[in-house]
Amino acid sequence: MALGATSGNFDRLVLTRNAALTIGAQSVAATVATSANSGSFTTGAWQHAGGVFQTANKRAFVNGAGGTAQTSAYSLTGLAQLTIGARRNSAGFGVFLSAGVAEVGIWTDALTDEEMASLAAGFTPDQIRPQSLVFYAPLIRTIQDLRGGLTITPTNSPTVAVHPRVFQ
């Protein structure tokens, strides 16, 4: 998932494969990326992935556990594009995800460790700090933003998959 500004700067939550599979919370200014990585996970089952993109406290979460915080000089200002299921880079879109995505939420404030753990436990984004939630797409049966009213345009013919259990 990537949030981008018209200047080519963007924040992205990416799956990375180094020695293990991890989630990275990355901020990219032009072609320079600052990344905070989560702990590792395995494939073949639903996983919770999340990121906090504060300048002085960038963190990535997997299944409710956060990795080490990183600091970057970059802070996203102005939002022109949101991408779900594709890795955005300075040239445009690179790698497309070949996996399921569900329950996408974006908040204006950084979530706490406890709030990330609640999301990982199956609580839907609209139950976690709803006053700061600006985008929420459950991605169940339809592609729509239930919170901010944004239009989502599908690419590469996404399909509906069995959704993980959530608490409403």
Quick check: is 88 in a domain? yes
106: closest CA among 51, 156, 168, 67? 51
pLDDT tens profile 50-101: 888 877 778 888 898 887 777 766 566 656 677 888 766 656 666 777 778 8
Cα separations in angstroms, 79 against 53, 55, 59: 14, 16, 20
pLDDT at position 121 is 93
Quick check: is 159 in a domain? no
Quick check: is 161 in a domain? no
Q: Do the Cβ atoms of 58 and 52 come closer than 8 Å?
A: yes
pLDDT at position 55 is 72
pLDDT at position 90 is 58
SS3 assignment, position 126: helix
pLDDT tens profile 92-143: 666 777 778 888 998 988 899 999 999 999 999 999 999 999 889 888 777 7
Mean pLDDT of 146-166: 77
pLDDT at position 128 is 96
How many angstroms separate the CA atoms of 118 and 106, rounded? 15
- Rg over CA atoms, the chain: 15
Quick check: is 101 in a domain? yes
For residue 100, what are the domain limits? 2-137
67: closest CA among 56, 58, 79? 58
Quick check: is 155 in a domain? no
Quick check: is 129 in a domain? yes
Cβ neighbour number for residue 44 with a 10 Å cutoff? 5
In total, how many domains does the chain have?
A: 1
Quick check: is 76 in a domain? yes
pLDDT at position 133 is 93
pLDDT at position 124 is 92
pTM, two decimals, is 0.83
